[in-house]
């Protein structure tokens, strides 16, 4: 099972970072290969909310289906994969810890691709794209969280 872990500091308070995480509208802005995301029930993130995202994998459109299983503002969020999407197994954990006026972010991303779903595609290439998407997600989360109003 591929695993990606990262820790870094975001120069914003946990509430600012959490605002991005709690607003599903930001999902396609965080992941570069995501085209759209539908959430049920609609609205801000909550335990039990299911997310179906359409994403690009090379020249193919794929679906990624997840469910929020933990949501403890502004500290911890856990997503798991649901049947029928690109992942046979999926778990993402995001934890925020205040550090003065900044926030330490710890994340882990464990997954197994559905080989049936990606039949005929290069699994190593898809795994590399998934890892790159996660790196860009974290960089975009940092960038959006650190934005300051003009006034």
> 3-145: which CATH architecture?
2-Layer Sandwich (3.30)
Residue 71 CB-half CA count within 13 A: 17
Sheet bearing 76-81, strands edge to edge: 3-10, 102-113, 87-99, 76-81, 60-72, 50-57, 34-40
- Give the residue-averaged pLDDT of 102-127: 92
pLDDT the model gives residue 60: 87
Does the pLDDT value for residue 77 go beyond 80? yes
**Backbone angle region of 48, left / alpha / beta, with phi > 0 → left and psi within -120 to 50 → alpha:** left
pLDDT the model gives residue 148: 84
pTM: 0.91
Look-up of token digits 């779903």:
117
Helical residues (DSSP H) of the chain, grouped into ranges:
14-21, 27-30, 123-145
pLDDT digits (tens, 9 = 90+) for 7-46: 999 999 999 999 999 999 999 999 989 999 999 999 999 9
pLDDT digits (tens, 9 = 90+) for 127-146: 888 889 999 999 999 999 99
Indicate the domain borders of the chain: 3-145
Q: How confident is the model at residue 58 (pLDDT cuts 50, 70, 90)?
A: confident
Tokens in use for 39?
Answer: 């959430």
pLDDT the model gives residue 111: 93
- Give the residue-averaged pLDDT of 71-76: 96
How far, CA to CA in Å, does 134 sit from each of 43, 98, 127, 139?
A: 24, 22, 11, 9
For residue 72, the cross-strand partners are 76
């Amino acid at each position: 099972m591929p695993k990606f872990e990262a820790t870094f500091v975001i120069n914003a308070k946990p509430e600012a970072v959490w605002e991005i995480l709690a607003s599903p509208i930001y999902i396609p802005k965080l992941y570069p290969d995501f085209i759209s995301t539908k959430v049920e029930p609609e609205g801000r993130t909550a335990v039990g909310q299911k997310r179906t995202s359409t994403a690009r994998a090379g020249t193919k459109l794929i679906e990624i289906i997840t469910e929020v299983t933990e949501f403890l503002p502004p500290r911890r969020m856990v997503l798991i994969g649901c049947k029928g999407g690109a992942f046979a197994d999926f778990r993402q954990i995001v934890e925020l810890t205040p550090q003065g006026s900044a926030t330490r972010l710890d994340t882990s991303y464990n997954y197994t691709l559905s080989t049936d779903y990606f039949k005929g595609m290069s699994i190593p290439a898809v795994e590399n794209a998934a890892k790159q998407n996660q790196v860009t997600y974290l960089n975009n989360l940092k960038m959006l969280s650190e934005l300051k109003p003009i006034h």
